[in-house]
């Protein structure tokens, strides 16, 4: 069942709203934001089962899903939008969810986003940075988001199939390369405590090409996945659901340094990124 009210963290300590939480290694409350669904009926529990099970098995105690479609099911948090709800508005709703349940109490959170969900997470922060202090009350005054991990998110937009989709779905229009929304959206906007970004993409993803998923191989941390040791690959959905195997991976950061080596599956790489407090 999709909840229309933000989950209130019962055990959150009361803190001065101006108190910025300290960064630190650990398992913070984590929100999972799904991607675009043409049918607007995402099953949040099914979409995030592998990620949620992995996090809970490794010490996380607070892992919540956020849905934004009127026919979504099994989402812990969210609202009843449609595929015509602009991504900036979805980001605003996520921002208020994070603020009301966590940031107002001085609690930092982490966010994982798949595909469009990564843009929603960034839009939440970008909107607060631009409009949170303008006195209208449309956006929260601050957010505390320590880490964001994205799986196959179109940071540089999409070409091809998205043009047809954009004729009938405004969210597809927002994902087009060069869209007004992407021009508005920062590449790696910082929340009020600083935010560390990890972008993950797959060479076999034909929906969101890895160059866009890794922001042109420019991020705090990024990884471009090829094949595993048995020759297996990951498509647009599989990258969010793969927690096993050793993978041929090209990784880097904002510098020109690149490292290609066998490494952990994307879900494990994302989990490690959430745990670490280190800003790039």
Average per-residue pLDDT for the chain: 93
Query: Judging by DSSP bridges, how do beta strands 246-252 and 258-264 pair with one another?
Result: antiparallel
Break the chain into its structural domains and give their ranges: 30-275
Strands 145-151 and 246-252: unpaired
Under CATH, what is the fold of the domain 30-275?
Answer: Rossmann fold (3.40.50)
Classify the C-alpha dihedral 98-124-145-132 as positive or negative.
negative
Q: How far is CA 203 from CA 169, 228, 238, 247, in A?
A: 26, 12, 12, 12
Kindly state the average pLDDT of the residues 157-176.
97
Contact 186, 197 (CB under 8 A): no
Q: What angle do CA 243, 146, 143 make, to 5 degrees?
A: 130
List, in sequence order, every residue forming a beta bridge with 263; answer none if it has no partner: 247
Name every residue whose Cβ is closer than 8 Å to that of residue 134 and which is 6 or more positions away in sequence: none
Compute the average pLDDT of residues 147-176: 97
pLDDT in tens, 34-86: 999 999 999 999 999 999 999 999 999 999 999 999 999 999 999 999 999 99
Give per-residue pLDDT as tens, 78-114: 999 999 999 999 999 999 999 999 999 999 999 999 9
DSSP three-state, residue 59: coil
Check: pTM over 0.85? Answer yes or no. yes
Residue 5 has pLDDT above 90, yes or no: no
pLDDT digits (tens, 9 = 90+) for 246-258: 999 999 999 999 9
Beta-carbon contacts of 57 under 8 Å, excluding residues fewer than 6 positions away, are: none
| Average pLDDT over every residue of 13-28 | 74
SS3 101: helix
- 278 — pLDDT class (breaks 50, 70, 90): low
């Amino acid at each position: 069942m999709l909840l229309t009210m933000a989950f209130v963290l019962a055990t959150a300590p009361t803190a001065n709203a101006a108190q910025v939480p300290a960064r630190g290694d650990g398992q913070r409350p984590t929100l999972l934001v799904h991607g675009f669904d043409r049918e607007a009926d995402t099953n949040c529990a099914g979409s995030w089962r592998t990620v949620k099970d992995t996090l809970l098995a490794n010490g996380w105690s607070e892992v919540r899903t956020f849905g934004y479609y009127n026919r979504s099911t099994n989402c812990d948090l969210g609202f009843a939008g449609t595929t015509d709800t602009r991504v900036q508005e979805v980001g605003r709703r996520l921002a208020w969810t994070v603020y009301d349940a966590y940031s107002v109490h001085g609690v930092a959170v982490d966010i994982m986003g798949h595909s469009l969900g990564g843009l929603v997470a960034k839009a939440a922060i970008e909107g607060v940075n631009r409009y949170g202090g303008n006195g209208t009350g449309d956006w929260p005054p601050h957010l505390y988001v320590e880490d964001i991990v994205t799986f196959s998110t179109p940071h540089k937009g999409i070409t091809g199939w998205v043009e047809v989709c954009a004729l009938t779905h405004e969210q597809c229009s927002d994902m087009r390369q060069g869209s007004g929304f992407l021009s508005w959206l920062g590449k790696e906007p910082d929340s009020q405590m600083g935010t560390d970004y990890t972008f993950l993409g797959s060479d076999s993803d034909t929906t969101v090409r890895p160059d866009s998923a890794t922001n042109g191989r420019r991020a705090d941390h990024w990884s471009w996945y090829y094949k595993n040791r048995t020759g297996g690959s990951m498509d647009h959905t599989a990258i969010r659901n793969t927690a096993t195997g050793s993978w041929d991976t090209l990784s880097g950061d904002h510098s020109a340094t690149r490292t290609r080596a066998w490494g952990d599956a994307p879900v494990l790489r994302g989990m490690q990124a959430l745990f670490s407090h280190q800003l790039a």
